[in-house]
Amino acid sequence: MNTIKIGLCGLGTVGTGVVRVLQDHQERIRHKLGCEIEIVKILVNDLAKPRDVIIDRKWLTDNPDELVNNQDIDVIVEVMGGIEQTNQLLEQALNQKKHIVTANKDLMAVYGQKLLRLAKENHCDILYDASIAGGIPIVRTLVDGLASDHIQKVMGIVNGTTNYIMTKMTDEGLPYKEVLQEAQELGFAEADPSSDVDGLDAARKMLLLANLAFKMELNLDDVDVKGIRHITSDDINFAKSLGYTIKLIGIASMDDHKTEVAVEPTLLPQDHPLALVKNEYNAVYVHGEAVGETMFYGPGAGSLPTATAVVSDLMEVVRNIRLGISGNTYIDPQYERQLKTDSEKYSRHFIRLDVEDQAGAFQEITNVFTTNQVSFAKILQLPGDKDGRAEIVMITHKISQEQLLKSLQALGELAVVERLISHYRVEGEE
């Protein structure tokens, strides 16, 4: 087969990048694969819209059937987004024996396992490295590079929008709303930023990583999610004074074949590699039993970084076609889905309290933690103010989620505790 023909779904930021990479790197791709990759159809919403990439207008169509039912097309490259309609399109394409490359983490988080099984039934490939961290080849690393290792933990910054916001708040002392508006003006954040700032985007990516790393089939509902909307400058400054940086971190771990997956604001030591990841960049930290600690860093979004990952997946599909080994990328989960209980989830925690500044208040608070066997690595108590209130900031030693929740509930029942201002996970000091 001298030419592999593709249908491209979407000609937005990433789709335009895919066209450019295929055009600009044509000779290099031909040299590596021994064949041509040719675009024959591009699915778009608006046929008349001006494009900022050189294309043959005859490629454009607004009819999905011209891709799905086109017998000349070998591979569908999906970069248009969406879930339900996109899923239907890809199911039809797989049933037509077409291979799939996608950058759609929303789709893969919801329908990924179903699509992967359908691809296997039809002896097709479906690759999705670009869906998780843009230009970082983390999926291929977990599937191939670390295939022989037992992955114990995956932790990372997998959302560029929230990392940009947290960087600006930390480095420049700007409030959340002001930085969010700036991120929207620069195009880093959507007009409705909920998916990013509430942690859903990161949760979908961490779900995909956890399923790959732990060879298990988890669901999106299994991910504990907490976003960044309520982080204040005071939280950041207190964390700094104790030697930490706050980041929105995705964490997936497995112990004794039981897993935990979470996305939440997390304090990291200021010299931790993930604490040094700035602005819209992503990084994924992988801990394997044999390899130890490794970290993968790079741009997590953008036209050309993501397009490069898409084309890399496309080239892998083409290699498999030429070798006659398509349809073998999906492997059934090795382990049954098992989640850690609250008594099995362990980490350290940052707790910030608004309390009455009176004799015996600290003793009452201490009694709560003693009852729940919680001890502290660091405590910071601020002088009382004229309203007769003070703040206490604490970093616990490693405790279970059950101990944390019981302690917080008991604190809420104390008359001397005005309110729990904030509490965050602490990682990176094992």
CATH number, domain with residue 36: 3.40.50.720
Can you state the percent helix, strand and coil of the chain, rounding each to 5?
Answer: 40, 25, 30
Q: Would you say residue 401 lies in a domain?
A: yes
Rounded CA-CA distance 318/347 in Å is: 44
Same domain, 289 and 201: yes
pLDDT digits (tens, 9 = 90+) for 200-231: 999 999 999 999 999 999 999 999 999 999 99
DSSP 3-state of 93: helix
Which residue in 168, 205, 340, 406 is the catalytic one? Answer: 205
Same domain, 150 and 288: yes
Same domain, 155 and 232: yes
pLDDT digits (tens, 9 = 90+) for 16-26: 999 999 999 99
Same domain, 145 and 90: no
Q: Would you say residue 38 lies in a domain?
A: yes
19, 364, 14, 334: which is closest to 151 by C-alpha? 334
Last residue of a domain, one of 229, 263, 298: 298
How many C-beta neighbours within 10 Å does residue 375 have?
10
Residue 295, C-beta contacts closer than 8 angstroms, at least 6 positions apart: 273, 274, 283, 284, 285, 286
pLDDT at residue 300 in the model: 74
End-to-end C-alpha distance for the chain, whole angstroms: 52
Q: What b/e string do you get for 313-331 counting C-beta neighbours within 10 Å, with b at 16 or more?
A: bbbbbbbbbeeeebbebbe
CATH of the domain at 238: 3.30.360.10
Beta sheet of 75-78, edge-to-edge order: 60-61, 36-43, 3-9, 75-78, 99-102, 126-127
User: What's the CA angle centered on 22, arms 19 and 25, to 5 degrees?
Assistant: 135
Rounded CA-CA distance 158/294 in Å is: 16
Same domain, 202 and 272: yes
Q: Would you say residue 12 lies in a domain?
A: yes
DSSP 3-state of 97: coil
Q: Would you say residue 334 lies in a domain?
A: no
Same domain, 20 and 108: yes
Q: Would you say residue 389 lies in a domain?
A: yes
Q: Would you say residue 216 lies in a domain?
A: yes
Same domain, 259 and 319: no
Same domain, 387 and 313: no
Domain count, the chain: 3
CATH of the domain at 358: 3.30.70.260
Averaged over successive runs of 10 residues, the pLDDT of the chain (430 residues) comes to 92 93 94 94 93 90 96 97 96 97 95 94 94 83 85 94 95 94 85 94 95 94 96 94 96 95 98 94 93 88 84 95 88 90 97 90 92 93 75 95 97 94 90
**Are the CB atoms for 78 and 115 separated by under 8 Å?**
no
pLDDT at residue 408 in the model: 96
Same domain, 144 and 291: yes
Query: What is the residue range of 142's domain?
Result: 138-298
Same domain, 169 and 317: no
What's the pTM value of the predicted model, to 2 decimals?
Answer: 0.91
- Is 205 catalytic? The answer is yes
Same domain, 195 and 255: yes
Q: Would you say residue 333 lies in a domain?
A: no
Same domain, 348 and 309: no
pLDDT at residue 280 in the model: 87
**Are the CB atoms for 301 and 160 separated by under 8 Å?**
yes
Q: Would you say residue 237 lies in a domain?
A: yes
286, 273, 318, 353: which is closest to 132 by C-alpha? 286
